Amino acid sequence: MSASPGIGMTSDRTRGRVVDALRKSGISDERVLAAMREIPRHLFVEPGIASRAYEDTPLPIGHGQTISSPTIVALMTQLLLEKGPVAKVLEVGTGCGYQAAVLAKLVREVYTLERIAPLMDKARRNLRDLRIYHVRFKHADGHRGYPEGGPYDGILCAATASHVPEALKEQLAVGGRLVIPVGTGEQWLHVIERTSAGFTDTKRDAVRFVPLLPGIV
């Protein structure tokens, strides 16, 4: 895959520095770090801001949406895999496809949904360009999930909800976990785990995400 013109930020050394910074921030899962090192983030942002692709900050991807910072992508992925490997994952909020690409390096089956059709089309192209073919896309309202693909060992939501959608909880397999930002003012990452007796909810880190909106466009 060729680099975007003039950015000089596409080398393995550059991504290695990002991984070093992630380790210092508390990311310890070597599987996650290896995936973050392998996926070229600069290919998921617009050429005009590609020189900022490896900064630890969210960046605009159009339609009022953002690509999450490397730290947030790594943290949410680590939380998803915290209890061990998972086979099937649902991502809510495909965006440009970067998080899905990271997940695809770690999980056998990845399902992802996006409410904004042009973003979903862009994500499809991005993953196809990287020859990642085992991700299934759906244009859908994130509150409803992707029931025909479930149940899932893990669900990762890349937008903040005012409450945890029941549909997402119900699409978890027993033993599965949902990582989701919740809150309309302060936002916190929550890890919802499904057990044979019901659900547990653990509040984790303070975050800032775009809202999980209803409907499709």
Which residues have a catalytic role annotated? 68
What the block records as the tokens of 198 is 């019901």
Round to whole Å and give the CA distance between 135 and 139.
Answer: 13
Residue 87 φ/ψ, nearest 5 degrees: -100, -35
> What secondary structure does DSSP assign to the chain, as a single string?
-PPPTT----SHHHHHHHHHHHHHTT---HHHHHHHHHS-GGGGS-GGGGGGTTSSS-EEEETTEEEPPHHHHHHHHHHHTTTS--SEEEEE--TTSHHHHHHHTT-SEEEEEES-HHHHHHHHHHHHHTT---EEEEE--GGG--GGG--EEEEEE-SBBSS--HHHHHTEEEEEEEEEEE-SSSEEEEEEEEETTEEEEEEEEEE---B---S--
Round to whole Å and give the CA distance between 175 and 100.
Answer: 22
